[in-house]
Amino acid sequence: MVIPERLRMQSTARTWALAEFDSSRLGDSRLVRRAITVGAALACQPSGVISRAVKDPAEREAAYQFLENTRVTATPIAKSVFSATAARARALPFVFVAVDASSLAIGDEEGDRGTGPIGTKDRGGRGFLMMSALAVASDGTPLGLCAQEWWTRGEETVTPAGKDRRKVAGKETKHWLAAVRKTRSALKGTNCRPWFQLDRGGDAWPVLLDAVDSKSWLTVRACHSRRLRRQRGGEQEYLWPTVDAAAPLGRYSVAVAAGPGREARTAVMVVRACEVTLDIQKLPQKAHVPVRVWAVHASEAEASAGAATPLQWRLLTTHPATTFVDACTVLFGYTQRWRVEEFHKALKTGACNIEDTQLRSGRGILVLATLLSAVATRLLRMTYLSRRQPDLPASVEFSLPELHAAAALTGRRKPRSAEAIPLATAVLWVAEAGGYTGGGPSRPPGLIVLARGLSRVLLVVASREPPKKDRRRSNIPRRGQA
């Protein structure tokens, strides 16, 4: 797909790329312009393979030069992405920040791509590990990344038996802390407060202690029945029995979709909450520290017939949960953690397919992964924005030529302006262009059909532009050039 420069300036993808990557401090304005151009091309045609995203020979050569340039690293591009997210969150009182770890599987038979072992040893997987922090508005709309960490494991990974007495700097727990702290730094200049949402992997004493010391809001799914700082009748008390004994605050219903081994049902959840003081043992010093948090427990009252396992969530939070409404707010915030799972899927296999990359250097792979991470969050945000705020004008995400192309592909009348139709309608048109056949409110368009539809829409728009003479030389600085 050849997208002339003049067309890109009219495209919302170009506008988005300017906002996302323009503040990248790459040491040369030409490199920044190239980051914007490559980012816009990837937004039009998400792919981990550059030749699929950029068809024009001169543009493709320039994209490869950019990714192979040793002066270009992922960090300054990522910082620009985080700043763009902070700008979107600036007017909000708080955002949920879903934090989770994942991995990129990158084939490295020759061992020259800078990868490390991932997964279990018997499978012999290679790749990179990442920790992502995704900001989500209170209505569930993703806003973008506000932190991202990349690392590789050593070839010989030692798992200590019993309690892990290594220092925090020697554990992967440090990446959870780095993501949390970088998020606070990214949002520091705004009035927006982050509320971190972590799965079981984040239930570690350094993370809890950092949240309490910094007075941050944090919710984590508990995986340990931790010891409490009190005894009753001479016996030590523990977290889970204490919460289970608390009086119920109320009940709510949740629809459970059918799945492997279970039938669709409406689950009635009983909510309990209480304030507890954990007895945290700091290692390797073995010092005991009291940590005051709230414990929130939601459990299914009666499992429906056919349900293998009753639903249950045990959460620890630094956000006060003294009432039923407070506890339900904590539970709702934790449900938004799933957005980061969707982001990882979109980046790896759902839409952007970064794991298909053929780049040889680890540095270049991470630069491409950072650009595609921003693209994945854009697709995710567009998907949920059309659901949460369907009456917004289509102009917030689409240009008029793009809407005309979508209308032509789906056999609809062309709109007079990009403000003439709502965003939900525009997203539906684009999704149908990508193969979406409908499914009603229960199955709205997803990431894959939306990404495919955007590519087809831009192909139609590009075909209506007069041909442009190819440029065979690029003016971006090559490796080693000043």
Helix (H, G, I), strand (E, B) or coil at 213: helix
Q: Worst-scoring range by mean pLDDT, 67-81, 88-102, 441-455?
A: 441-455
347 has a pLDDT exceeding 70: yes
**What tokens does 112 get?**
């020259």
Nearest Cα to 60, choosing from 43, 44, 41? 41
Helix (H, G, I), strand (E, B) or coil at 278: strand
Report whether 367 contacts 81 (CB < 8 A): no
Nearest Cα to 100, choosing from 129, 133, 137? 133
Average pLDDT over residues 109-122: 87
**What tokens does 200 get?**
């079981």
- Close Cβ partners of 30 (under 8 Å, ≥ 6 residues apart): 475, 476, 477
159 has a pLDDT exceeding 70: no
Residue 266's pLDDT is 86
Averaged pLDDT score across all residues of the chain:
88
Report whether 369 contacts 356 (CB < 8 A): no
8 has a pLDDT exceeding 70: no
Res. 458 pLDDT band, cuts 50 70 90: confident
Residue 441's pLDDT is 66
Average pLDDT over residues 271-297: 91
Residue 442's pLDDT is 66
460 has a pLDDT exceeding 90: no
125 has a pLDDT exceeding 70: yes
Return the higher-pLDDT residue of 86 and 307. Answer: 86
**What is the DSSP secondary structure assignment for residue 467, as one 8-state letter?**
P
The angle at the Cα of 110, spanning 109 to 112, to the nearest 5 degrees, equals 120
Average pLDDT over residues 357-380: 96
In DSSP notation, 31-62 reads: HHHHHHHHHHHHHHS--SSHHHH--SHHHHHH
178-227 pLDDT, tens digit per residue, is 999 999 999 998 999 999 999 999 999 999 999 999 999 999 999 989 99
Average pLDDT over residues 439-468: 79
Residue 4's pLDDT is 45
1 has a pLDDT exceeding 50: no
Nearest Cα to 60, choosing from 29, 32, 38? 38
Q: Worst-scoring range by mean pLDDT, 113-117, 186-190, 283-287?
A: 283-287
User: Mean pLDDT highest for which of 33-37, 385-389, 450-454?
Assistant: 33-37
**What tokens does 448 get?**
């894959």
**What tokens does 288 get?**
């005991």
470 has a pLDDT exceeding 50: no
5 has a pLDDT exceeding 90: no
Rounded Cα–Cα distance for residues 306 and 264 (Å) = 9
Return the higher-pLDDT residue of 262 and 303. Answer: 262
Task: Name residue 142's beta-bridge partners.
Answer: 136
40 has a pLDDT exceeding 70: yes
Return the higher-pLDDT residue of 286 and 248. Answer: 248
236-271 pLDDT, tens digit per residue, is 899 999 999 999 999 999 888 877 777 888 889 999
Res. 447 pLDDT band, cuts 50 70 90: confident
466 has a pLDDT exceeding 60: no
Rounded Cα–Cα distance for residues 176 and 249 (Å) = 32
Kindly list the domain boundaries of the chain, sorted by start residue: 5-74+361-463
User: Mean pLDDT highest for which of 163-172, 336-345, 441-450?
Assistant: 336-345
